[in-house]
Structure formats: C-alpha cells, structure tokens
A and B are shown apart, each in its own frame.
Chain A
Amino acid sequence: EAQVTQNPRYLITVTGKKLTVTCSQNMNHEYMSWYRQDPGLGLRQIYYSMNVEVTDKGDVPEGYKVSRKEKRNFPLILESPSPNQTSLYFCASSIDRDLNTEAFFGQGTRLTVV
C-alpha cells in the first residue's frame, strides 16, 4: 500500500530537548516536504526536498532542520524546541510537482512543547 508514514503520531516534550520526527514514503517519490498546521493559519511549508541531498527552506523554516540522506526518508529535527512550535505536523511526498501527480500526506504528528 502506497503511504507516507510519520512517527510518532503524538509527542509531548519539554523546551530545549532535541527531538526528531521521522517521515518515510514507500513510493520512490523524489519530492518531499514538511508542513505545520495551526488553527486559523492553515498549512505552512517548513522545508522541502527535491531529491537526495537537495533541501530548501519553505515559508516557516526557523527552528527546524531537515536532512535527506535517502530517497524514502525525510526527518524533521527540532534542535531546541520551544512552545511556539507546538503544532500539528504533516509530511508529504509526490513524484514531482506535476499536475497529474497526487501529493500524499502522512497522518500527522501532534507535537506539544511545554
């Protein structure tokens, strides 16, 4: 089954404690991205990756890091989480940015930073 898998689904952490949210896709997609979803703000892109070792900032990259060492994995790293990073995070992948290609989203990771 084609899917994007995020882990963990839920996470509560303390300010300053480094964490990683993993994202893996089994569709051999080249393009992957991370979004955060906040009430009243919709989805905002954090980082995206065109392919292995190719990443770039999205709309709200501050406080986040990513890496793309393998095609299937695109982890999101919060080096020193802060309460304003409490949000619902989604990873997405697609073959490329073509109209006929569907973008697949993971089920989300709800992060709470206290």
Chain B
Amino acid sequence: GAGVSQSPSNKVTEKGKDVELRCDPISGHTALYWYRQRLGQGLEFLIYFQGNSAPDKSGLPSDRFSAERTGESVSTLTIQRTQQEDSAVYLCASSLGQQGGQFFGPGTRLTVL
C-alpha cells in the first residue's frame, strides 16, 4: 500500500481480556517497529523486526506482550490479560533497513476499562 496501515484504529476492551493489534508495513520495507505512546508522553520502543533476523524484544514491558511478523509483511502485537496501564496509542513504523527514516502508521488507540 501507499503507507503503513494499522487496525483497528480504536479498541476498547475490559481488563483481563486479550487484544491483538495489526500492522501492515510499506511493501518492501524490511524493518518494522512497534512503539507505545501513553497520553502526554513520548514514544516507548517495544519491539523491532528486521528481515528474518531474531526480533529485538528489549522494549517489551512484560511477558504479557508479544509480537510476530510473517516474513517482511504483516505484524501483530498481542497483549494478554490487559491492564488499565496498557491504555495507550500503539504505533507501528517501517523503514528500508535500519538506517532509513521510519514511516509511521496512524496508530491503534487502546482503552482498557
């Protein structure tokens, strides 16, 4: 597609439920990032995928968070047993390798009640 797309755009869930967020990167971009942006705060790095290399999971805040990527295409971020502090905008970005500028998707706003 023309840009990075994410779905859903908004997700409201109850505490304790699992959620799955999707990211479709720009075609041909080998690098894919997930970030979290809490209200009024900067972006927190969560996880990075580069081609077929092992992902960099160093930013995942707990074992409730996981992400997968199929080759160099779609990625899903899964949050299990959601907590209220998980409420945030989750942003996905892709780039042409590590040195390119990142192109961001519109984000998924997650609200945990």
Do A and B actually bind? Answer: no
Residues of A within 8 A of B (CB): none
